[in-house]
Amino acid sequence: MKELVLKALKILKIEDVPPFPHYFEWALTHSSYANENGVPSYERLEFLGDAVVGLVIAHQTFENFPKMAEGDMAKVKAVVGSEPVLSEVSKEIGLSKLVLIGKSLRSSDDSLESIFADIFESTMAAIFLNFGFEKAYSTVEGLLKDKINAATQKKIFFDYKTMLQEYTQDKYGTLPEYLLVEEKGPSHKKIYTFKVIVNGQICGKGMGKSKKAAEQEAAKDALKRLKKI
């Protein structure tokens, strides 16, 4: 097996030999690298992994919090399955260090956050395809258990736009403005970039798979610059 696959298995604490090791290699390959080197990317695996991860989060929430209302369960699933959380987990376990990216993205750390979230999902799909759902389930559960508990206790909070609005109104008596500065990718795989302006000054920048997600990232960046969060 290739060294990349061996490193991924070590991070995931999987000792069994995968029958289809190439799935792990594909799971860590961004389209920019794939296009430059003529190899498959993680995009199809990410599609499958998103479903696997979402089901585990939903089931764990359903089982462990029997009195939680459907609407609250949906919020927990949305938070734990969000780009910031999955990206954070990828970085915490070291999976983010293995991703293969093209030369065009290597100079921009901001653009990597969504990629780190994507490879979490695609790697879970690789586990599913190699070892079955039970192994994939236990892996996702182990990696996201603390995040699920934190979300149910509302210790994970991502409404940065509201936080920024309250902060700027209190400090400057004005509201932040969001400006779309870039929209790239095919129609089914758009990446948006927004800047947020406070008092005529650009205070933050963010990227996301939706305009709302990009605005949240821009607001988060602005809050980091304006105050510690």
Residues 53-68 pLDDT 10s: 999 999 999 999 999 9
Q: Name the strand (E) or helix (H) holding 23.
A: helix 22-27
Range of the domain at 192: 160-226
Select from 152, 177, 206 the last residue of a domain. Answer: 152
Same domain for 148 and 174, yes or no, is no
Tell me whether strands 191-198 and 177-184 are parallel, antiparallel or unpaired.
Answer: antiparallel
DSSP string of 96-148, one letter each residue: GGG-B--GGGTT-GGGHHHHHHHHHHHHHHHHHHHH-HHHHHHHHHHHHHHHH
Active site residue 121: yes
The pLDDT score that the predictor gives to residue 44 is 97
Helices and strands in the chain: count of H runs, count of E runs: 10, 3
Which among 25, 50, 88, 221 is annotated as catalytic?
Answer: 50
pTM for the complete prediction?
0.74
Domain of 75, CATH number, reads 1.10.1520.10
Q: Which residues share a beta bridge with 179?
A: 195
Which among 25, 118, 121, 221 is annotated as catalytic?
Answer: 121
The pLDDT score that the predictor gives to residue 79 is 86
What would the two tokens of residue 78 be?
A: 């949305």
Same domain for 207 and 117, yes or no, is no
Distances (CA, A) of 2 to 25, 121, 133, 182: 8, 21, 24, 37
Residues 26-44 pLDDT 10s: 999 999 999 999 999 999 9
Q: Is 212 left (phi over 0), alpha (psi -120 to 50) or beta?
A: alpha
Regions in the chain scoring below 50 on pLDDT: 229
The pLDDT score that the predictor gives to residue 106 is 64
Give the count of domains, the chain. Answer: 2
Active site residue 36: no
